Amino acid sequence: MKPSQTSTWRDIHEIPALLAAFSKDAPRRLRGCTIKAADRSVHLVGRGSSDNATLFAKYIWEGYAGVRADFIHPHSVYEARRPLDYRGRVVWAFSQSGRSTDVVAALKKLMGWGARGVAVTNEPDLARNPLARQAGRHILLSRSPELSVAATKTFSLQLWLALWTSRLW
């Protein structure tokens, strides 16, 4: 098989159009979702490539928007034996499909402790997206179907979202 016949090749070549489409619609798409705590902080949770995107978001949001961003490891939350106080806190949960069980479980527990949630996914079908349902606020990156193995398009769009959000803050 030639590289140009792979889904990753096709996904990579679709990215410029997806970034342009997101940019065209970003202010409307992000309205009401670009929330942060009163102390200008957010918490970030993700796994795999989405976790790597949260690292980029942290750098951009702290460096350019003045919003402090702290990481949450899903396992430390859903295995916590004592409640943590997340009242007034905002958790941004990144996931390609919205079906990462540990991220969904962590967000559910954090919201039970008082956090507000924002889901960042590439899955438009809420019936198949428990993270978006849990969060109540959902930023849909695109409607372009994608295999979650590489999450090439989603990762690129998550980075783009971080840049756009810093502009709106």
d(CA 139, CA 33): 7
Strands 138-140 and 90-94: unpaired
* Residue 37: per-residue pLDDT: 85
Q: Terminal CA-to-CA distance of the chain, rounded, Å?
A: 45
Q: Report yes or no: 155 and 53 within 8 Å, Cβ to Cβ.
A: yes
Categorize the per-residue pLDDT at 29 as very low, low, confident or very high, splitting at 50, 70 and 90: confident
Residue 39: closest CA among 88, 98, 86: 88
pTM, two decimal places: 0.93
- The torsion defined by the Cα of 45, 73, 150 and 161, in degrees rounded to 10, comes to 20
Q: Please tell me the least confidently modeled range out of 15-29, 108-122, 147-161.
A: 147-161
Q: Report yes or no: 18 and 156 within 8 Å, Cβ to Cβ.
A: yes
Six-digit token string for 91:
């958790």
Q: 3-class SS at 79? A: coil
d(CA 158, CA 131): 15
Domain definitions of the chain by residue range: 3-168
Task: Give me the mean pLDDT over the 121-148 stretch.
Answer: 93
Categorize the per-residue pLDDT at 7 as very low, low, confident or very high, splitting at 50, 70 and 90: confident
- Exposure string (b/e) for 132-143, b if CB count within 10 Å is 16 or more? bebbebbbbbbe
Categorize the per-residue pLDDT at 148 as very low, low, confident or very high, splitting at 50, 70 and 90: low
Six-digit token string for 135:
């969060």
Q: What is the CATH number of domain 3-168?
A: 3.40.50.10490
The DSSP letter of residue 6 is: S
